[in-house]
Amino acid sequence: MAAPRRVSPPPLPPLSSRRVPPRLLPRDELSRLIRQPTPIDLGLLAMLPSLPMRARYLVDTHTAGQHRSPLRGAALEFAEYRAYQPGDELRRIDWRLFGRSDRMFVKRFEEENQLRVCLVLDQSASLGYSSRPGLLAKTDFARTLLGAVALIARRQHDAIGLALVGDTGVAGDFGLADYMPPRSSSAHHQAVFSRLESPPVKRTARLTEALARLADILPRSCVLVVASDFYCDLPQLGEVLRYLRARRMDCIGFQVLDPMELEFADEAMGLFVDLEDGQRIMLDAPSVRAGYLQRFGEFQRTLGEMFLTHEADLVMQRTDGSPVAALGAYLARRLPRQQ
């Protein structure tokens, strides 16, 4: 009887072709990930006194119980100690520490399925705008979105970093006013919230320069979540997005806009002030609305096509709208890592 012939498996395709392409989930699939038991109360959101409370309100309202990883990867790197709780695996207890302190602590490790995420907040003065009382300023809405992502990542034991983008006037800062590399410890997550909650607003921000610098210093396959209005040089931004893609980094852009910027629904003549350079212009809003909306629409189309070309996600978020699409974009990016 002849021995069975061994058949070699076909060679695997190159890594670049096997990589799951970034995508947003279809609406029906996304709805299974994010349930909405009650709509977002934007008035209540604006009245909550702190960033952690606003972030927790968003996450608990829209994603509670919907983003739990079933994976348990092998330990790669020690992360932190945690007090022992009934039900914890005995093999995770540090018995040497128990012998010294007579208290039981469990070792926690970074897992193979851990995602590294860097939150990027544009601090330029244009994000300090709010058109009417009761609406969060764009920068507060942006911080709330990033805080919600940080809270989701915390529940997933993902590593979170933070980059605050602003022109500090210091040569060689690459537009980074503050930077914290991704870590997964509890103390680090708390530090991220602390620095994110009330960063100083800068007159201008060198967003494209800061993103290019982050591409160089962050680990490959990191996810950048950028909150900005993206009022920057679009050709330069396109080059940075291309560079991020070459570095195998995913990018999610939260474009935070006030309804006034989208609709220009002002019916009077008034003095308009550029928040970044201080320029003052007297305008009759009704007479310039058509031209403004045309140019703004062209800007939005160019920005959207640029993100699409470089396989990045762009979510336009109104400060008077529900943030479910923005959080869903992050969840959609996180999901393929769990499959």
pLDDT of residue 41: 62
Q: Based on the domain organization, do 137 and 277 belong to the same domain?
A: yes
- In angstroms, the CA 272 to CA 233 distance is 22
State which residues form the domain around 90.
76-108
Residues (pLDDT < 50) of the chain are 1-25, 27, 29-30, 33-37, 64-76, 112, 336-339
pLDDT of residue 210: 94
CATH number at residue 273: 3.40.50.410
- In angstroms, the CA 31 to CA 33 distance is 5
Phi, psi values for residue 118, rounded to 5°: -115, 120
Q: What is the pLDDT of residues 3-19, one digit of tens each?
A: 444 444 444 444 343 34
Q: Based on the domain organization, do 86 and 175 belong to the same domain?
A: no
pLDDT of residue 234: 95
Q: What is the pTM of this model?
A: 0.71
For 227, counting Cβ atoms within 10 Å of its Cβ (0-12 exposed, 13-18 middle, 19+ buried), the class is buried
- In angstroms, the CA 199 to CA 316 distance is 23
Q: Based on the domain organization, do 266 and 157 belong to the same domain?
A: yes
Which tokens belong to 296?
């703004």
pLDDT of residue 338: 43
Q: Using alpha carbons, select from 154, 145, 78 the residue that is nearest to residue 117.
A: 154
- In angstroms, the CA 329 to CA 225 distance is 10
Question: In this structure, are residues 70 and 335 in contact, taking their beta carbons and an 8 Å threshold?
Answer: no
Q: Based on the domain organization, do 119 and 103 belong to the same domain?
A: no
Q: Based on the domain organization, do 184 and 227 belong to the same domain?
A: yes
Q: Based on the domain organization, do 120 and 193 belong to the same domain?
A: yes
Q: Based on the domain organization, do 325 and 180 belong to the same domain?
A: yes
Q: Using alpha carbons, select from 306, 290, 296 the residue that is nearest to residue 262.
A: 296
3-class state of residue 23 by DSSP: coil
Phi, psi values for residue 254, rounded to 5°: -100, 105
Q: Based on the domain organization, do 94 and 119 belong to the same domain?
A: no
DSSP annotation of 84 = -
Q: Based on the domain organization, do 26 and 128 belong to the same domain?
A: yes
For 220, counting Cβ atoms within 10 Å of its Cβ (0-12 exposed, 13-18 middle, 19+ buried), the class is exposed
User: Does 45 reside within a domain?
Assistant: yes
Q: Based on the domain organization, do 42 and 89 belong to the same domain?
A: no
- In angstroms, the CA 233 to CA 214 distance is 18
User: Does 284 reside within a domain?
Assistant: yes
Q: Based on the domain organization, do 117 and 102 belong to the same domain?
A: no
Number of domains in the chain: 2
Question: In this structure, are residues 235 and 310 in contact, taking their beta carbons and an 8 Å threshold?
Answer: no
pLDDT of residue 82: 78
Q: Based on the domain organization, do 51 and 97 belong to the same domain?
A: no
